[in-house]
Amino acid sequence: MQRLIAILLLCSFSTLGFALPVKTWSLAPDQLSLGYGQNVGDKRLTAQDLRLALQWQVVEWPIAHSGWQLEGHLVTSLNQWNSSLDPDKASSYGSNSIAALMLLPSVRLAKAFGPSNNFIEAGVGGGFMSGKALKKNANSPVDKSSSFNFELMAGAGSRFGSRQQYEINFKWLHYSNANMKTPNESLNFQVLSFGYWY
């Protein structure tokens, strides 16, 4: 896992800055998005992810004669993970709610199909959580051991509208500390988000 995260980090950062046309940088974000999702993979956990994200498109590179475009993005997100278990069945310790602030470089491959611009994307970043354990239906909670965790993302979506100002996006998000501390129980969410490009 540590080797995979290192490779993805290298690819993400190198794509954002190596031999690609960099857009004029501005502190103002290019996109605001809101997302909602559920955890997947652990049936003993019932949790929701509420996600507010700001996104900057920092590079774009049209791929000649193909209609495809490679883009580099930087995303910062505030996530609220809420466990909605019956208190009588939940673990005796851990939090019912955890906030997480993440920074994620990502790569997007996009192509226009008719009036929409469709894409696939992936990225890896990291950030900090307000708690280390989220309650689940077991004797012990989802134990992360550390406040710092990596965020891995894979997704697909579409931009549409008269100036491509709207975006709908479905993504898979994985959170892990890459076994820097143990135990390291992972969290996985599937999130549907809607965004607006300024």
- Asked if 170 and 182 touch (Cβ cutoff 8 Å), the reply is no
DSSP one-letter string for 81-113: EEE---TTTS-SSSBSEEEEEEEEEEEEEEEEE
- Asked if 77 and 49 touch (Cβ cutoff 8 Å), the reply is no
- Domains along the sequence of the chain with CATH: 2-20+30-197 (2.40.160.20)
Percent helix, strand, coil in the chain, to 5, is 10, 55, 35
pLDDT, residue 79, reads 97
pLDDT, residue 16, reads 46
Can you say how many angstroms the Cα of residue 112 is from the centroid of all Cα atoms in its chain?
A: 23
User: Rounded to two decimals, what is the model's pTM?
Assistant: 0.83
Mind listing the pLDDT tens digit of every residue in the chain (198 residues)? 555 554 444 455 444 444 455 566 678 899 999 999 999 988 778 889 999 999 999 998 998 888 899 999 999 999 999 987 666 666 667 778 899 999 999 999 999 998 999 999 999 999 999 998 887 776 667 788 899 999 999 999 999 999 999 999 999 999 999 998 888 888 999 999 999 999
pLDDT, residue 175, reads 95
Give SS3 for 4.
helix
